[in-house]
Structures are given as structure tokens and as C-alpha cells.
Amino acid sequence: MNYKDSGVDIHEQDVFNAKLCNKMPWLGGFAGAFDIGENYLVSATDGVGTKTMLYNDYKHVKGVEIANLGIDLVAAVLNDIVCTGSKPLFFHDYISLTSMDEVDAMGIVNGINTGLKMCGTEVPLVGGETAIMNNMYRHDDGFDIAGFGVGVIPKDLFIDGSKIEDGDVMLGIASSGFHTNGYTLIRKVLEGHEARGALTDDLIKKILAPSKIYVKTIGLLLQKHANSVHAISHITGSGRANVNRLMGESMNLRPVWHNKEPQSEIFEFIQKHGDIDDYEMRKVFNNGIGMVLMVARSDAYEIQRTLESFGEKVYEVGAIGQRVEGGYTPS
């Protein structure tokens, strides 16, 4: 099984994104930067996709909470912003639903506020929109959520990938699970008779676990190692390919990955019961790595130790190498 079998054609999305970038060449990073003098205002927007639908399928399971989707939303937006080194300033939300009687909108908002408190710095929810859209969704409990965040960073500290060098080490910080990506494929796998028969409440809770928010970790790291962190990539939809977004053709550089990821039982469960090959898994899911840092080789060990002192699980997942005809050569 692959993502296209479940109804999502990543190639079509890539073609659309390429067209956008041709018209607006400043697009393509994880967040947009707006010049305000000595600083950039950095913004991002995102949603949680069809994870809302899987939540509705299993909300009867004890421990599956709608508030976790609010945490997911904060992670999806602010993890993108922190890839630039920016400090988040504030957050907006958007909730679209069929009925206030069927969807716990306040539970979502409570989850958003919980997620914002996880950032290690004050990030207020300053506004938003709640829209009752009768007949928009197939079922009375249908809903969708999106978020928008703004951060700030001095121009001389802005991280955009331009400092990536041949030989940089790629350090991966562990994810908490699937985060918010690949859920259309996950739902397709779980429709299968064999998967349903093997599924337990514990697995469902892990599959629907809230995303990890990296804002506090990255902020603390940059206070100590700002000059040695050359780029940061949020591993979301398209999996490993997110790292490529940071390196333009002119850089003549590409990531050279180690092929072993710290997959947990939920990734193994979906791969087994969906008969998904390794290539497709790496194209769709984070496979246990939620954030990748490209760091100076001379400081990689110390940076890894620093991240581990914050309680993070960190793995050396690859290196940056020169692009050569027929492949890539790591230093």
C-alpha cells in the first residue's frame, strides 16, 4: 500500500508547490519572513489534517482526548517557526465545525493553551475564529482546525539554511509518534480486517498521541550553540524530503542519510499491516524523528550532549555531502 492508494498524491502536491515557488520564489521554507528593520517577523500557518477524523473514530477509547489535537496544532505551527531560530510571539486559531453540541470546541482551545504553555516562553492565544458550518462535513461530529503564529528574530540570527556546509552532521530529535502527518494512509491501513483485529486501546492512544513541541528545546539550544546550528528542518509531510527544502540547487549539497531510524511499535504496526515498503514509509512519515538539525561537525558531539541534557533522545541520522553525478558523496 502507498499514500496514493489512500487518496493522497504527494506528486500532485509537489507539482503545485513548484508552480507556487516559480511565481513567488521567496516561498519554500518552513515559515515566511517579513522585514521590520533590525528584525524579521516570522509567520506560519498549518492544520492537523485528517487526524481529526481518526480522533472521531476512536474518541470512545479512554485516554483519547480532543485537547491533544489543540497541542498538535500548536506544534504544527510553532515547530515551523522555530526552524528559523525565531521566538514565537502569539498565536491565532480557527475551528470549523458542524455543531457545538457534537464537538467540544472548548476542549480544543484548552489543548491549544496547554501547548502554548509547553513553549517555555509566554506565547498568548490572542484571537481566532469559530465557524459553525452546517452541512459542510459528512457527519454531525465533523470538524477541522487550523492555526497561525508569529515570531520574531534579529536578522543576524535568522536561520535559513544558507550556512549549511559539506560535512555538517545531521542530528535527529525523537518524535512522540506520527505527529500530524500521514493519517489518511493510517486510516486506510486501520480499515483492514487484520489491522483491526490486532489493534489495542494502547496502540490507538499511541497512534493519536499529541505532537512533540520543540520550541523550548530549540530556544535553549540556540542560546548556547547559535553559531554551530546551520539549519533546522521540521520533519512533517513528505518525511525526509523536508531537509531538501533548505538546500537550493546552487549549493550543490544534499543530505546523505543513515538508513536506520528509531521506529517505535506504532510505525512497525502500520508498516506491517499496510504492507508499506521502507521507501514509502520515509516519504510519508517521520519514522521516529521529528526535527533534524544540521550542525558543524566540530561541535556535533557537544550539541548532542546539550540536547540530551534537556531530556531529548538524539540520533546522528546522516551528514551533508556534495552532490555528484549519480549520487551524493558525504565528507
Helix (H) or strand (E) holding 170: strand 169-174
pTM value is 0.91
CA separation, residue 158 to residues 42, 197, 202, 227, 247 (Å): 10, 49, 41, 11, 15
User: How many alpha carbons fall within 13 Å on the CB side of residue 232?
Assistant: 30
pLDDT at residue number 324: 62
Give the three-class secondary structure for 95: strand
pLDDT at residue number 331: 39
Cβ-contact 242, 161 below 8 angstroms: no
pLDDT at residue number 140: 87
Cβ-contact 72, 290 below 8 angstroms: no
DSSP state letters, 16-61: HHHHHHHHSTT--SSSEEEE-SSEEEEEEEEE-TTHHHHHHHHTTS
pLDDT at residue number 104: 95
Give the three-class secondary structure for 178: coil
For the chain, list the domains and their CATH numbers.
4-330 (3.90.650.10)
Cβ-contact 234, 80 below 8 angstroms: yes
* Rounded-to-integer distance, Cα 150 and Cα 81, Å: 8
Q: Residues with Cβ < 8 Å from 198, sequence gap 6 or more? A: 269, 273
Tens of pLDDT along the chain (331 residues) come to 777 777 776 666 666 666 655 555 555 578 999 999 999 999 999 999 999 999 999 999 999 999 999 999 999 999 999 999 999 999 999 999 999 999 999 999 999 999 999 999 899 999 999 999 988 888 889 999 999 999 999 999 999 999 999 999 999 999 999 999 999 999 999 999 889 999 999 999 999 999 999 999 999 999 999 999 999 999 988 777 878 878 766 578 889 998 777 878 999 999 999 999 999 999 999 999 999 999 999 999 999 999 999 999 999 999 999 876 555 444 3
Longest dimension (CA), the chain: 60
pLDDT at residue number 329: 46
DSSP state letters, 211-264: PPP-HHHHHHHHHHHGGGEEEEEE--TTTTHHHHTT--GGG-EEEEE-S-----
DSSP state of 297: G
